[in-house]
Amino acid sequence: MWHSIYVPENIELPDFKIPHAEKIEWMIETNGWALEPIAAMLDSDPPTPGYAYTIGLPTTFSFPDIVIFGLAPVAAKGLIDLVIEQVTSGVEIPRDIPLVGLLDNELRCVFSTVDVRTHAHLFTTGVKWSRGQVGDMLQLVWPDRNGWLPYESGFDASMRLAQPTIGTLPTL
């Protein structure tokens, strides 16, 4: 049940704006890593979907940072939490090949190696945070509702713009 609270008009609410760098620092101090969500840019040609990427995984967990396209930040965070749980349990996550076991229902995903030098413009906050150093990045490539990955012919065509593949594709 919701209750209304009366706030007199003459009371000024505090300004909770925190500089972006301080938010990143707080997330890293609190969790060991930060999530940087980037809104979709629908006016670009071609349109760029929303995505989220991590900052700080290599330092805290000795695992590359991760980028995920086409999911809401809360969903991306949930997947990244799963990855961190696996990494801290000693599971070695293979790169650039489809794997089963991370996602529900035996769905496949791929941790594709990203050429960060080519795609650094997508990770500006991370590059600034690391003082211009470019670290390792993996794209977590997820399947459509039928289990197809974006580079496979059965992948749902309506989802292609939501999840571009910028990482290394598995050899078919």
Tell me the per-residue pLDDT of 6-31, one tens digit each, with 9 for 90 and over: 555 666 656 667 777 778 787 878 88
Q: What tens digit of pLDDT does each residue of 72-92 get?
A: 999 999 999 999 999 999 999
Whole-number pLDDT of residue 152:
92
Tell me what pLDDT residue 14 has. Answer: 61
Strand-strand pairing, 51-55 and 34-38: antiparallel
In tens digits, the chain (172 residues) has pLDDT values of: 455 555 556 666 566 677 777 787 878 788 889 999 999 988 888 788 999 999 999 999 999 999 999 999 999 999 999 999 999 999 999 999 999 989 999 999 999 999 988 898 899 888 887 777 777 999 999 999 999 999 999 999 888 889 999 988 886 5
pLDDT given for residue 8 in this prediction: 59
* pLDDT for the residue 47: 82
**Are 142 and 103 contacting, i.e. CB atoms less than 8 angstroms apart?**
yes
Helix (H, G, I), strand (E, B) or coil at 108: strand
The pLDDT value given to residue 50 = 95
Which own/partner pairs from 75-83 qualify as long-range (CB within 8 Å, at least 24 positions apart)? 76/35, 76/37, 76/51, 76/52, 77/35, 77/52, 79/140, 79/142, 80/33, 80/35, 80/54, 80/140, 83/140
pLDDT at 126: 86
Integer Cα distance of 121 and 134 in angstroms: 11
Domain ranges of the chain: 20-159
pLDDT for the residue numbered 6: 54
Reported as type and span, the H/E element at residue 105 is none
Distance of alpha carbon 115 from alpha carbon 135, whole angstroms: 10
Q: What is the pLDDT of residue 93?
A: 94
pLDDT score of 70: 94
Which residue, 51, 50, 60, 49, is CA-closest to 27? 60
**pLDDT score recorded for residue 172:** 56
Task: Write the burial class of residue 66 (CB in 10 Å: 0-12 exposed, 13-18 middle, 19+ buried).
Answer: buried
